[in-house]
């Protein structure tokens, strides 16, 4: 694999070390050990932020290459984060991305060729993201045991609703009882599935044929259920 990354990083890391408030906790065998520095202190990262803006970025694996749009930006803002010396604790942060209206591109050439050295006519390419996912942000909560939960997300849709609202992202990282039905709607979205099949076709035509058959059967069953 060969990768190229050129860009700029900016941000501010706020870090405060302070004694934990153990006044309401037991200091016995089940509580924090106030005599152990690893348990008696905590670190506050609240207010920290990091941003990345790409000037050029691509990754090549064999005869395939992914190219990211120039000026793409990514950001992380830590709204609240207090952890102990073992980095156990709760964190609330906001993640955002902006591909400037474009999408990362997948380029594929014949086996034995290099995408960077091939002509335009020799390359096949496709955008990896539909328009709704090319810009957005979501709030991510990390529990004290490392569990992830997304509570809010907004994409380029003005009202932030639709297939790719916060429920979509949360269904991927922290499924709940509503996640299967939401993912079911995504699977039966023709625009999304057509994009997925086009990407599969460039990666492996045989896999694309199998996935297309499975989706067609699922769509047929879905339509049959709707008609009844």
What is the SS3 string spanning 53-87? EEEEEEEEECCEEEEECCCCEEEEEEEEEEEECCC
For 94-109, what is the mean pLDDT?
Answer: 93
Provide the CA 227 distance to its chain's centre, in angstroms.
36
More confident residue, 69 or 1: 69
**HSE-up (13 A, CA, CB side) for residue 172:** 8
What is the structure's pLDDT at 69?
95
> Which residues, at least 6 apart from 63, have a Cβ–Cβ distance to it below 8 Å?
108, 109, 110, 111, 112, 113, 114, 115
CA distance readout (Å), 175 to 150, 167, 191, 202, 204: 10, 9, 23, 30, 29
Which residue from 146, 176, 104 is spatially nearest to 166, judged by alpha carbons? 176
Burial class (CB in 10 A: 0-12, 13-18, 19+), 72: buried
CA atoms lying within 13 Å on the CB side of residue 157: 13
One domain, residues 116 and 164: yes
Determine, yes or no, domain membership for 20: no
What are φ and ψ of residue 102, in 5° steps? Answer: -105, -170
Angle at 205 (CA atoms; ends 203, 206), nearest 5 degrees: 120
Residue 129 in any domain: the answer is: yes
**In this structure, is residue 43 part of a structural domain?**
no
The answer to whether residues 227 and 150 belong to one domain is: no
Say yes or no: 74 and 148 in one domain: yes
Extract the runs of DSSP E, i.e. beta strands, from 114-168. Answer: 124-127, 135-142, 148-155
Q: Is the pLDDT of residue 223 over 80?
A: no
160 shares its domain with 58: yes
Query: Per the domain annotation, does 123 fall within a domain?
Result: yes
Residues 106 and 209 in one domain: no
Give the pLDDT mean for 65-74.
Answer: 95
Residues 69 and 171 in one domain: yes
Q: What is the per-residue pLDDT for 29?
A: 46
pLDDT at 102: 93
Is there a contact between 154 and 132 (Cβ–Cβ < 8 Å)?
A: no
Total domains in the chain come to 2
Is 150 in the same domain as 228?
no
Strand partners, 27: none
Give me the domain span that covers residue 146.
Answer: 2-10+49-81+88-177
Higher pLDDT, 94 or 29: 94
Q: What is the mean pLDDT of residues 181-192?
A: 84
199 occurs within a structural domain = yes
User: Are residues 55 and 132 located together in one domain of the fold?
Assistant: yes
Both 108 and 210 in one domain: the answer is: no
What's the CA angle centered on 149, arms 15 and 24, to 5 degrees? Answer: 55
Give the pLDDT band (50/70/90) at residue 125. very high
Please, what sign has the CA dihedral across residues 112, 116, 118, 120?
positive
The predicted model gives 85-93 an average pLDDT of: 84
The pLDDT of 185-209, averaged and rounded, is 87
Q: What digits encode the pLDDT tens for the residues 32-54?
A: 555 566 667 888 999 999 999 99
Please indicate, yes or no, if residue 61 is contained in any of the structural domains: yes
Final residue in a domain of this structure, among 141, 158, 177: 177
Domain-located, residue 15: no
In 33-165, where does DSSP find H-type helix?
A: 37-40
Q: What is the pLDDT of residues 146-166, one digit of tens each?
A: 788 888 766 654 445 567 877
Task: Examine residue 27 and state whether it is found in any structural domain, yes or no.
Answer: no
What is the pLDDT confidence band of residue 6, given thresholds at 50, 70 and 90? Answer: very high
pLDDT value at position 30? Answer: 47
User: Residue 213: its pLDDT value, please?
Assistant: 83
pLDDT category of residue 145 using cuts at 50, 70 and 90: confident
Q: Based on the fold, state whether residues 110 and 160 are members of the same structural domain.
A: yes
Per-residue pLDDT at 39: 67
Kindly report the average pLDDT of the chain as a whole number.
Answer: 83
> Are 195 and 148 part of one and the same domain?
no
User: In this structure, are 63 and 150 located in the same domain?
Assistant: yes
């Amino acid at each position: 694999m060969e990768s190229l990354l050129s860009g700029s990083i900016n941000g501010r890391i706020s870090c405060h070390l302070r004694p934990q408030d153990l006044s309401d906790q037991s200091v016995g065998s089940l509580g924090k050990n106030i005599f152990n520095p690893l348990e008696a202190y905590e670190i506050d990262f609240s207010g920290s932020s990091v941003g990345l803006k790409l000037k050029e970025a691509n990754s090549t694996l064999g005869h395939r290459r992914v190219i990211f749009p120039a000026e793409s930006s990514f950001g992380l803002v830590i709204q609240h984060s207090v952890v102990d010396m073992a980095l156990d604790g709760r964190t609330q942060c906001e993640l955002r991305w902006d591909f400037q209206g474009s999408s990362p591109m997948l380029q594929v050439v014949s086996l034995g060729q290099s995408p960077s050295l091939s002509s335009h006519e020799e390359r096949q390419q496709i955008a990896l993201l539909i328009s709704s996912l090319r810009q957005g942000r979501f709030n991510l909560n990390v529990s004290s045991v490392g569990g992830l939960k997304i509570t809010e997300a907004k994409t380029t849709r003005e009202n932030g609703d639709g297939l790719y609202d916060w429920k979509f992202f949360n269904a991927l990282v922290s499924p709940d009882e509503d996640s299967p039905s939401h993912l079911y709607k995504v699977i039966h979205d023709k625009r999304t599935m057509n994009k997925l099949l086009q990407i599969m076709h460039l990666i492996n035509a045989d896999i694309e044929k199998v996935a297309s058959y499975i989706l067609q059967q699922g769509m047929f069953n879905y339509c049959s259920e709707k008609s009844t």
